[in-house]
A and B are shown apart, each in its own frame.
Chain A
Amino acid sequence: MATSDVLTELSKKALKDGIIGGVITLKRTAPDAAVHALITDMEMLEDVDSMIPYFPDNCANFIKRITKVAPPNKPILAILKPCEMRAVVELVKLVQIQNKNIIYATFDCYGTIARKDLKDKEIPKSQEFIKSVSDGKFELREICKSCDYIRSETADISYLTFEKDTLIVAQTETGKNFLEKLEVQFVESAPDKGLKSVLDIKLKAKTALYENLKSECSGTDNIFKTFAHCINCHNCMTNCPVCICKECFFESDAMDFEGDVFLDLASRKGGLRAPTDVMLFHIGRMAHMATSCVACGACEEACPEDIIVGQIFKWISENVQSIFEYKSGRDWEEELPLKTFREEELEPK
């Protein structure tokens, strides 16, 4: 059975046996669209393909919403992509998700297709997609092409595809308990088989992407050119799973001045661009959240001007996180770089 079918069948069984109260999964709303949905009715799971190569938003946002007031009393099974799982881990560390009664399941992710590329087409079924993704039949999102986080080690359960079989891995006690109750066969550690060759390709693509960004987007002129189309809508920020401030500094009164101040700002350089503070917003946002960026590319998908903001943030955040040998969402225990410090480090030169 294909992995996506295994996922659906097990979700149905867990619902039927009353082990869980609901399932969070991707569900189609149109041939070219799908959304994350919390499903409690088994019949609504009938045509579900949780692994379709589609990224409507980062599901961590939905889990944050569900657990915000109080986590559910009955477990919910959340089927997530590895990048969404990374965001969940970051949000738990940032005290935004109450990590109780959510069982996280992930799968090896082969990437997703950009929403704009799917317009008026059909999202391919996951089976068909996985079969021919290595032949280059599908154009992946840039950020997926170079994603080196295709398997999550933090989720409770990992569903892995091996040739025609599906291997279920319990990665935590919660996952083990769940699978035992379900009475399905599982293993407790994932074999590496097949992963390395995919990773090698992804890492090569990543190096190429960073090289390209370095030549196209670095330096004052190139940066302004990159963000030249920005309309300062803040869609990238609202869709970002780790941009969590209730009141954003860049939407606060700190951005408002008397008319005379605007005149003064304009007269310093002969003119003032509107909307104002575009560069301040982007570089400032990097400084605020680069340590937690999970490179899911939700920002880029949300950008109405097709700015490659996701690729830039991935590039910046990987460099920033490397200062602290940190990788966002990789591990439950690693401390957030901005929450801690060492007495002897980073002395200014």
Chain B
Amino acid sequence: MPDNFEPKIVGFFCNWCTSVAADMAGTSRMEYPANVRPIRVMCSGSVDPSYVIRALLSGADGVIIGGCHPGDCHYISGNFKARRRIAILRKIFETLGLEQERIYLEWISASEGRKFVQKITEFTEKLRKMGVSELSQNWES
């Protein structure tokens, strides 16, 4: 692993909370690692597990999904469904002996710019330590 390894992170951020939190972090001039490539989705519940798998197979070292706190979903129960789907996906990864730690689900509300920065930093640090994802490197995917 090269010393200057910088993980690539794909972020699926809910339009109503985490995306706003990211904006807030920006307008408040808070700094966070530039490793994350944010994708705005309408709800964490709209993130199909296959998007996460595709990201991890196509070169991402980690995927973070940001949704509203339980009970706060704009669509009432999207985040609860996301939580089940991600739990299923992580179980599949665990069983197959893949690194489920590379899939991250976090509740970050629109007002939590600071939490957004903290979580992105935390996840980036963790992935830096984990190194390059084997899954992302295999050309046969």
A residues with CB within 8 A of B: 214, 217-224, 228, 249-250, 265, 268-273, 277-280, 283-284, 286-288, 290-291, 315-316, 319-320, 323-324, 337-338, 341-348
Beta-carbon contact of A343 and B88 below 8 Å: no
Question: Chain A interface: which of B13-21, B29-37, B45-53, B109-117?
Answer: B45-53
Beta-carbon contact of B87 and A346 below 8 Å: yes
CB within 8 A of B53: which of A221, A273, A287, A346? A287
Beta-carbon contact of A338 and B84 below 8 Å: yes
A217-B96, A220-B138 given; name 4 further pairs at CB < 8 Å.
A219-B98, A273-B139, A287-B48, A290-B92
Which residues in B have their C-beta under 8 angstroms from that of A278?
Answer: 140-141
B120 to chain A, nearest CB (A): 15
Q: How long is the Cα–Cα vector from A220 to B106 in the complex, in angstroms?
A: 26
Q: How long is the Cα–Cα vector from A81 to B133 in the complex, in angstroms?
A: 43
B118 to chain A, nearest CB (A): 15
Name 9 A/B residue pairs within 8 A (Cβ), A-sorted: A214-B97, A218-B97, A280-B57, A284-B53, A287-B53, A315-B95, A319-B94, A348-B83, A348-B107
Q: How long is the Cα–Cα vector from A346 to B80 in the complex, in angstroms?
A: 9
Beta-carbon contact of A270 and B88 below 8 Å: no
Count residues of B near A (Cβ-Cβ below 8 Å): 38
| B54, B84, B141: residue with the most chain A Cβ atoms closer than 10 Å | B141
Which residues of chain B in 118-141 are interfacial with respect to chain A, using CB atoms and an 8 Å cutoff?
134-135, 137-141
| B87, B107, B134, B137: residue with the most chain A Cβ atoms closer than 10 Å | B87
Which residues of chain B in 52-101 are interfacial with respect to chain A, using CB atoms and an 8 Å cutoff?
53-54, 57-59, 70-71, 77, 80-81, 83-89, 91-92, 94-98
Which residues in B have their C-beta under 8 angstroms from that of A219?
Answer: 96-98
B89 to chain A, nearest CB (A): 5
Taking CB as reference atom, which chain B residue is nearest A286? B92
Which DSSP category, helix, strand, loop or mixed, fits chain B's interface?
helix
Which residues in B have their C-beta under 8 angstroms from that of A319?
Answer: 91-92, 94-95
- A249-B50, A269-B137 known; A279+B57 contact, CB < 8 A: yes
Interface membership of B24, Cβ < 8 A: no
Q: How long is the Cα–Cα vector from A270 to B58 in the complex, in angstroms?
A: 12
Beta-carbon contact of B80 and A316 below 8 Å: no
Which residues in B have their C-beta under 8 angstroms from that of A273?
Answer: 139-141
Interface membership of B42, Cβ < 8 A: no
Q: How long is the Cα–Cα vector from A133 to B48 in the complex, in angstroms?
A: 44
CB within 8 A of A320: which of B80, B92, B98, B105? B92
| B83, B85, B95: residue with the most chain A Cβ atoms closer than 10 Å | B95
A292 to chain B, nearest CB (A): 11
Which residues in B have their C-beta under 8 angstroms from that of A291?
Answer: 88
Beta-carbon contact of B96 and A218 below 8 Å: yes
Q: How long is the Cα–Cα vector from A345 to B95 in the complex, in angstroms?
A: 20
Taking CB as reference atom, which chain B residue is nearest A318? B95
Which residues in A have their C-beta under 8 angstroms from that of B89?
Answer: 287
Taking CB as reference atom, which chain B residue is nearest A279? B141
Which residues in A have their C-beta under 8 angstroms from that of B77?
Answer: 341
